[in-house]
Amino acid sequence: MSGTVVLYAPSDDALADFQRVAPGGADISWVDSTQPIEEQASQLKDAVAVIVGGGGGFSVELAKSCAKLTLIQTTSAGTDRLDKQALGEMGIRVANNGGGNAVAVAEHTMALIVSTYRKLQLQLQAVKSGEWAGDIRASWFSQAHELAGRTVGIIGLGRIGSRVARRLQGWECDIIYHDVVQFPDLEAELGVSSVSKDELLQSSDVVTLHVPLNKHTRGMMSDREFGMMKPTAVLINACRGPVVDEAALIRALKEGKIAAAGLDVLEEEPTPKDNPLLDMDNVLVTPHMASFAQESGEKSRVFAMRNVTKVAEGGEPESIVLPE
């Protein structure tokens, strides 16, 4: 294979898009990730940097056959499908998209918050079914709320969470956050306050999650956490499904421990048709498409190509994600 930068994906549909944004005439090749691993290994033997597509997986077994590989680059913010610990022990680092989809996910988060608060899915369903407002006014009027004056708690104030906070500034909300890292500059700029996770859960009218999926965050929202939230509170999740214990969420919604949820991600995707969340009037679900926008795709591709080209030329990559 010519070149040292590779798009590793199940199809070559995106190859032209990556080649178009390749800096300085850099060349990029494609390896079909559905081939037998021996064929993949043969084609990847000279690869220094790989861009993973189609879900972002790259097995440790395959990596062992890639003697020159030093960087696996994703076009997503999440890198949970990669064994960063094992790859790191082989001298292979992992980089995410450098915030390429942060604006799109933040905007989608705002849509989830407002739509869930105003029961928009029920309004759309009623109009589409020919019922106009149906019985929504009678059954949901007391449960639809204005966002102004509410407290929004952001768990994870990174690239996406901080953009959610920025967009909330115009909504006349009080904004608090919890993160393992402190952001004094952002606190001053955005008027947000750092609190403990428990205080955030107890105080927030809306809790929105923006954390990576790892061993520390898997199942971080479960029975204990839902029991601490206000019965009028709304949960928003646009990061990764397994961050939320789905069975506990279903219990919390059925028992009235929280009022509603707006979800772009679920534990199993595509989710089974009999998932109880799909039949709940107080739950809005979108199909893990928060990051989907022409602009976010372009920004992620540009960043990925710039990062892998830098590595192929002997430079240091950006946006490295460390093992947990």
Residue tagged active-site, from 269, 295, 316, 324? 269
Would you say how long the chain is, in residues? 324
Residue tagged active-site, from 145, 159, 210, 240? 240
Chain-centre distance for alpha carbon 229? 23
CB 73 within 8 A of CB 84: no
Distances in Å between the Cα of 10 and the Cα atoms of 14, 33, 61, 208, 308 are 10, 5, 18, 33, 19
* Helices vs strands, H then E, count in the chain: 13, 12
- C-alpha span between 299 and 69 (Å, rounded): 24
- C-alpha span between 183 and 162 (Å, rounded): 10
269 classed as catalytic: yes
What does DSSP say about strands 29-32 and 5-9: parallel, antiparallel, or unpaired? parallel
Residues with a catalytic annotation lie at 240, 269, 288
